[in-house]
Amino acid sequence: MRRREAQEPAGKPAREQVYLYVREQILRGRFTGGSFIEEEQISSAMGVSRTPVREAFHRLEAERFIDLLPRRGAQVRQVTAQELADLYETRRMIEGYAVARICREKIAVPPEMAVILDRIEESAGGDHFERVELNRRFHFTMIAALGNDVLSELYQSLGSRQQRVAMTALAADPNRIDRIRDEHRTLLAALHAHDEGAALAVLEQHLRPVFGVVSRLPGYALAEGGAQD
C-alpha cells in the first residue's frame, strides 16, 4: 500500500486525513466487509503515527463503518439485509415528510438540487463513489429546504450508512443508474410543481425494495427490504 499523505488536502489534521482515506477505501469496497484493518498498515501507508489512526478508527466505529474488537483490531462492518431495510424505512419517513411540507407549504425548491443532478450525470461511468456522495447531497438538500436544523442533523446522521448501502446496491446492480437518474428528475419536477401526490409516488418508487440487491446481502433470510440508492 503506497503512502498517501502527499495527496491529501493541505491543512487537514492527520486524524482527518486517515478518516477520509479509510472511509473511502471502505466505501469503494477495497476494505471489504468482514476484513480487518491494522493500525500499522494505515500508519505506514499514510506516514503518520498510530495516534491519529486510533482516533480515526474511533470515529469510523461511531459512524458504524468498523467494529473495534478487543485483541483483534478493526473489522469492517458488513451491510446486512436488515440494515438496508431499516435504513430505507427511515428515509421514506423523513423524506416523505419533507416532500409533503415542500408541496403543501409551497416551499421554494433549492436550485442546488438541479445543479447536483447535473453533476451526477457528468460523473464517471464506472466509478460510483462520486455519484453516491452527490446523491446523498441531493436528498439532504431537499431535507434542508425545510429549515429544521434538528431534522437536518437527524438525516445527516444516516449519511455513513446511506453511502455504504448505496455503494453496495450499485455494485450489485449498476444497470439501475439510468432509472435512478430518471426518478431524480421526475421527483424534482414534481417538487417544483408542488404536486405532493406525484412527488410521493416517485419517492416511494425510488426507495422501493429491490430483490436483486437485498438477496445478495448477509441476513437476507431475516429481512425483506432493499432500495435503489
Q: What is the pLDDT of residue 84?
A: 79
- CA dist 122 and 127 (Å) reads 11
Average pLDDT over residues 157-186: 85
Name the more confident of 170 and 54.
54
- CA dist 109 and 42 (Å) reads 42
CA of residue 173 relative to chain centroid, distance = 16
The residue written with cell numbers 441476513 in the block is 219
Q: What is the pLDDT of residue 163?
A: 85
Q: Phi/psi of residue 39, each to 5°?
A: -60, -45
The residue written with cell numbers 486517515 in the block is 18
Angle between helices 177-192 and 196-206 in degrees, nearest 10? 160
Among 76-80, 121-125, 131-135, the least confident range: 121-125
- CA dist 173 and 156 (Å) reads 25
Q: What is the helix (H) or strand (E) element at residue 67, kind and residue range? A: strand 66-69
Taken in order 80, 86, 91, 96, is the CA torsion positive or negative? Answer: positive
- CA dist 102 and 65 (Å) reads 33
Q: What is the pLDDT of residue 151?
A: 97
Three cell numbers, residue 183: 426518478
Q: What is the pLDDT of residue 7?
A: 41
Among 62-71, 190-199, 212-221, the least confident range: 212-221
Q: What is the pLDDT of residue 228?
A: 58
Angle at 122 between CA 9 and CA 201, to 5 degrees: 115
Domains of the chain, CATH where assigned: 5-76 (1.10.10.10), 81-222 (1.20.120.530)
Three cell numbers, residue 145: 429546504
Nearest to 157 by CA among 187, 142, 136: 136
The residue written with cell numbers 468482514 in the block is 34
57-111 pLDDT, tens digit each: 999 999 889 999 988 889 998 878 888 788 889 999 999 999 999 999 999 999 9
Q: What is the pTM of this model?
A: 0.79
